[in-house]
């Protein structure tokens, strides 16, 4: 059984999270510059068995898609061309950044560290993955 990888896609930075091999827990992995994402995924898929990819689906409060979909759609098209054997699923990402900040506060992270957007991005990816795992079970 392979892992599930979550992507919190952004224009500049992308947060990544991954399950353990048993798909029980979600763990923040890293934040990477978006321009390097496809290369990083190619390397990662060569070394880790990933059976599924989940990408955050940005929606507004009224349920309509946010402007972010204008750059997520082209990425997904490129992803499907590069990795035709990897299923990619969109999953609601509303409030993940807020929840990430709340988790950092609850965890006792210092204010300066909470301002690091790279940390927020990988925690947001982890929250997307946790929600997805709960939804599937």
Which CATH number covers residue 64? 3.30.420.140
The model's pTM: 0.84
Q: What is the pLDDT of residue 124?
A: 86
Average per-residue pLDDT for the chain: 86
Q: How confident is the model at residue 121 (pLDDT cuts 50, 70, 90)?
A: confident
Q: Locate all alpha helices (DSSP H) within the chain, ordered by sequence.
A: 37-47, 69-82, 96-106, 111-114, 117-136
Q: What are phi and psi of 16, to 5 degrees?
A: -130, 145
Q: What is the pLDDT of residue 108?
A: 65
| Exposure string over 25-61, b if 16+ CB within 10 A, otherwise e | ebebbebbebeebeeebeebbeeeebebbbbbbbbee
* Percentage of the chain lying above the pLDDT 90 cut: 59
Residue for token digits 């990795």?
Answer: 83
86: number of Cβ within 10 Å: 16
pLDDT in tens, 13-59: 999 999 999 999 999 999 999 999 999 999 999 999 999 999 998 87
Q: What is the pLDDT of residue 28?
A: 93
Q: How confident is the model at residue 114 (pLDDT cuts 50, 70, 90)?
A: low
Residue 69 lies in domain: 3-136
């Amino acid at each position: 059984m392979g892992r599930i990888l979550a992507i919190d896609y952004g224009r500049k930075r992308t947060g990544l999270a991954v399950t353990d091999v048993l798909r029980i827990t979600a763990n923040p992995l890293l934040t990477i510059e978006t321009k390097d994402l496809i290369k990083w995924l190619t390397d990662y898929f060569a070394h880790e068995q990933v059976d599924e990819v989940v990408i955050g689906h940005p929606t507004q409060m009224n349920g309509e898609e946010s402007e972010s979909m204008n750059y997520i759609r082209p990425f997904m098209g490129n992803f499907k061309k590069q990795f035709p054997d990897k299923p990619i699923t969109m999953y609601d990402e509303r409030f993940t950044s807020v929840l990430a900040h709340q988790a950092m506060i609850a965890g006792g992270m210092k204010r300066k560290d909470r301002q690091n957007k790279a940390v927020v991005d990988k925690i947001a990816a982890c929250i997307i993955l946790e929600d997805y795992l709960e939804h599937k079970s």
